[in-house]
Amino acid sequence: MKLPRRFFQPLATGAPAPFRELPVRLERMIHFVPPHNDKVRARVPELATQVDVVLGNLEDAVPADQKLAARKGFIAMARATDFAAAGTGLWTRINALNSPWILDDLFEIVTEVGDRLDVVMVPKVEGPWDIHYVDQLLAQLEARAGVTKPILVHAILETAEGVANVDAIACASPRMHGMSLGPADLAASRGMKTTRVGGGHPDYRVIADPSPDGGPRAHAQQDLWHYTIARMVDACQANGIKAFYGPFGDFSDAAACEAQFRNAFLMGCAGAWTLHPSQVALAKSVFAPDPAEVAFALRILEAMPDGTGAVMLDGKMQDDATWKQASVIVNLARLVAAKDPDLARSYGLPGAAGG
């Protein structure tokens, strides 16, 4: 273990000092763009005004013979749009650490557009050693390219070993931005018997006891991802970083996507991935608090100005702990309101222009 005093020191001479606190940003959706696809890439300037994060994907879903085109396409799209001015994050998902592409992914991207890049998403992270490797390499490349803002690292939790090491991954470096669930690779790694990208399975359920009359037995489908999301959220929140639900692959089933996103939101996740334009509106509506919840949370804060004591609101006891829950909701609502004038109005909170 590194000594605490050395934790925040840059890992290369000339590299920027790591952030002490994560920049506070609204990240309801991480929108995946295939950068080798010229048609989709042409839409990026418009997308940048509609989503919170644009991610250029270099890893799975990019054919092996298109890997170099995807990397070049990402560099071109990073240059073509001023994401920072739009208040939109620019991320890339690099290839896996054991692949033939990762070194050039990082070398070329940090050298060419490192000053525009907010976060590098690292797939198939198995343990803190993977984060240490990327951390050191990024510091060397930042120093060489003269990058002044530290590039953050986001891990995908998508192997059984990664889940076993989730706590150590979350605190492996001050560069850690957060983590996302990778349900497809995780299913394969665990030997789960599914063929889906996220979401539930009709056979994963509990059923009621047989009834004496032999009638049909009630049953309820359970959430295959509950355990992993809970572990991920605890590991992330304990270390002051953010947890995200990952992808939902059935674009035709908006209701199931919404339910999975909402469970993750209620459990503590900050956002989810959007792989198709149809999922953007879903993520926007799910990962912002409900106006009625915000109104009630504001009443709690108002009723307990210093956050201590016990009061009754509508027959419900409020105390220091519900005040903290209310603060989580109101702080998120303020972040959303600053970006979304319609929601600002429905929350009764000041928007970007202060009105």
Ligand X SMILES: CC(C)(COP(=O)(O)OP(=O)(O)OC[C@H]1O[C@@H](n2cnc3c(N)ncnc32)[C@H](O)[C@@H]1OP(=O)(O)O)[C@@H](O)C(=O)NCCC(=O)NCCSC(=O)C[C@](C)(O)C(=O)O
Instruction: Confirm if 274 and 280 have CB atoms less than 8 A apart.
Output: yes
Query: Which of 182-190, 254-262, 280-288, 314-322 is the region at the interface with Mg ion (rule: CB under 5 A)?
Result: 182-190
Write down the least CB distance from residue 31 to Mg ion, Å. Answer: 17
Please state the residue numbers annotated as binding site: 93, 158, 185
Look at the block and give the residue holding tokens 């009723």: 303
Q: Residue 181's beta-bridge partner residues?
A: 157
Nearer to Mg ion, 55 or 343 (CB): 55
Write down the least CB distance from residue 185 to ligand X, Å. Answer: 3
Write down the least CB distance from residue 65 to Mg ion, Å. Answer: 19
**Contacting positions for ligand X (CB under 6 A):** 32-34, 39-40, 43, 57, 60-61, 156, 158, 182-185, 197, 246-247, 275-277
Please state the residue numbers annotated as binding site for substrate: 93, 158
User: Phi-psi region for residue 76, left (φ > 0), alpha (ψ -120 to 50) or beta?
Assistant: alpha
Token pair recorded at residue 160: 């059984």
Look at the block and give the residue holding tokens 């009754």: 312
CA distances from 161 to 99, 115, 192, 224, 347 (A): 18, 33, 15, 18, 42
Measured CA to CA, the distance from residue 341 to residue 355 in angstroms comes to: 9
Using CB under 5 A, pick the residue from 150, 178, 182, 271 that binds Mg ion: 182
Phi/psi at 326 (nearest 5 deg)? Answer: -60, -40
Which of 96, 258, 273 is CA-nearest to residue 181? Answer: 273
Write down the least CB distance from residue 204 to Mg ion, Å. Answer: 21
Instruction: Confirm if 347 and 333 have CB atoms less than 8 A apart.
Output: yes
Assess 185 for contact with Mg ion (CB under 5 A).
yes
Q: Which does 10 bind (CB under 5 to 8 A by kind): Mg ion, ligand X, none?
A: none
Residues 109-168 that bind Mg ion (CB under 5 A): 158
Nearer to ligand X, 177 or 323 (CB): 177
Write down the least CB distance from residue 222 to ligand X, Å. Answer: 19
Instruction: Confirm if 171 and 18 have CB atoms less than 8 A apart.
Output: no
Query: Which of 95-103, 176-184, 335-343, 347-355 is the region at the interface with Mg ion (rule: CB under 5 A)?
Result: 176-184
Residues that bind Mg ion (CB under 5 A): 158, 182, 185
